[in-house]
């Protein structure tokens, strides 16, 4: 059994050289990053009652699954976390390693999927950001995450809702009209409704802490938190 979808891996491997080009194919993720970092930092600090303002994630072990070129691994490391980034694409891992080395960051990158990761020590924080819609077996994926997370650890899952408006905005708008993403980046049928993911997560002895929508403002060209879950949303959950 595996969570690896080879077609998805090949798709992102072809784009690997563009991970750190803020005007390239991953421009939407660079625009998306500030709101994701803000939300994850706020929830993690509150949960673990951290008080170090300069390195608020210090002392925490964090696993970034489907890390790509390291767009979230690097800021998490700068905030003090001990970061391990994993990705099923070897090319992505090489790009991530090269970029972190240039920036003199100590991040451990592994070419692996979560079910292949045999860790003796578990993690305090797990990031599943824009990854579940690309994996082969979502149930196995979450089971693997649960095994890797410490008791009372926090997991963040960000993805796209399977709604008519998400088809218009995320597929037609982002891929065909605005050309923010290469055509075929997403398969609408693989999107998940929030209740579907909440059910899968709850089954693994997690408590859902929060579900928040993330909305793009075309005027300010910035993302903001919202109660509107119709397109992008993020779930924070605690392992009991």
pLDDT at 99 over 70: yes
Looking up tokens 């595996």, which residue turns up?
A: 2
pLDDT (tens digit, 9 = 90+) per residue, 194-240?
999 999 999 999 999 999 999 988 788 889 999 999 999 999 999 99
Q: How far apart are CA 227 and CA 210, in angstroms?
A: 11
Query: What proportions of the chain, in percent to the nearest 5, are helix, strand and coil?
Result: 40, 25, 35
Q: How many CB atoms lie within 10 A of CB 205?
A: 11
CATH of residue 54 = 3.40.50.150
pLDDT (tens digit, 9 = 90+) per residue, 126-167?
999 999 998 999 999 999 999 999 999 999 999 999 998 887
- Pairing type for strands 61-65 and 123-129 reads parallel
The pLDDT, as a whole number, for residue 173 is 62
Domain total for the chain?
1
Can you give the pTM of this predicted structure? 0.92
Q: Token digits for 46?
A: 């509150």
- Domain, as residue range, for 61: 6-239
The pLDDT, as a whole number, for residue 51 is 80
CB 210 within 8 A of CB 237: no
Residue 1 in domain: no
Residue 138 in domain: yes
Residue 50 in domain: yes
Residue 40 in domain: yes
Q: Predicted confidence band at 181 (pLDDT cuts at 50, 70, 90)?
A: low
Q: Which whole number is the average pLDDT over 57-81?
A: 97
For 146, phi then psi, to 5°, come to -60, -40
Residue 87 in domain: yes
* Strand segments (E) across 53-148: 61-65, 82-87, 108-111, 123-129
Q: Which whole number is the average pLDDT over 107-125?
A: 94
Residue 197 in domain: yes
Residue 61 in domain: yes
CB 206 within 8 A of CB 155: yes
């Amino acid at each position: 059994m595996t969570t690896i979808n080879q077609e998805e891996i090949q798709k992102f491997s072809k784009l690997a050289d563009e991970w750190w080009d803020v005007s390239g194919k991953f421009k939407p993720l660079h625009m998306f990053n500030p709101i994701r970092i803000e939300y994850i930092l706020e929830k993690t600090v509150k949960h673990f009652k951290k008080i170090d303002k300069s390195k608020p994630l210090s002392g925490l072990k964090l696993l970034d699954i489907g890390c790509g070129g390291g767009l979230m691994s690097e800021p998490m490391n700068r905030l003090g976390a001990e970061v391990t980034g994993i990705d099923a694409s070897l090319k992505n891992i090489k790009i991530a390693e090269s970029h972190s080395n240039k920036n003199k960051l100590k991040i451990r990158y592994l070419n692996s999927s979560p079910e292949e990761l045999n860790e003796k020590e578990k993690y305090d924080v797990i990031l599943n950001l824009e990854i579940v819609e690309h994996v082969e077996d979502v149930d196995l994926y979450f089971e693997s995450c649960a095994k890797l997370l410490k008791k009372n650890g926090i997991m963040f899952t960000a993805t796209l809702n399977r709604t008519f408006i998400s088809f218009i905005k995320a597929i037609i708008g982002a891929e065909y009209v605005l050309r923010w993403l290469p055509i075929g980046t997403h398969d609408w049928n693989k999107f998940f409704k929030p209740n579907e993911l909440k059910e899968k997560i709850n089954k693994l002895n997690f408590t859902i802490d929060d579900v928040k929508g993330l909305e793009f403002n075309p005027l300010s060209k910035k993302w903001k938190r919202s109660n509107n879950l119709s397109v992008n949303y993020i779930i924070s959950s605690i392992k009991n």
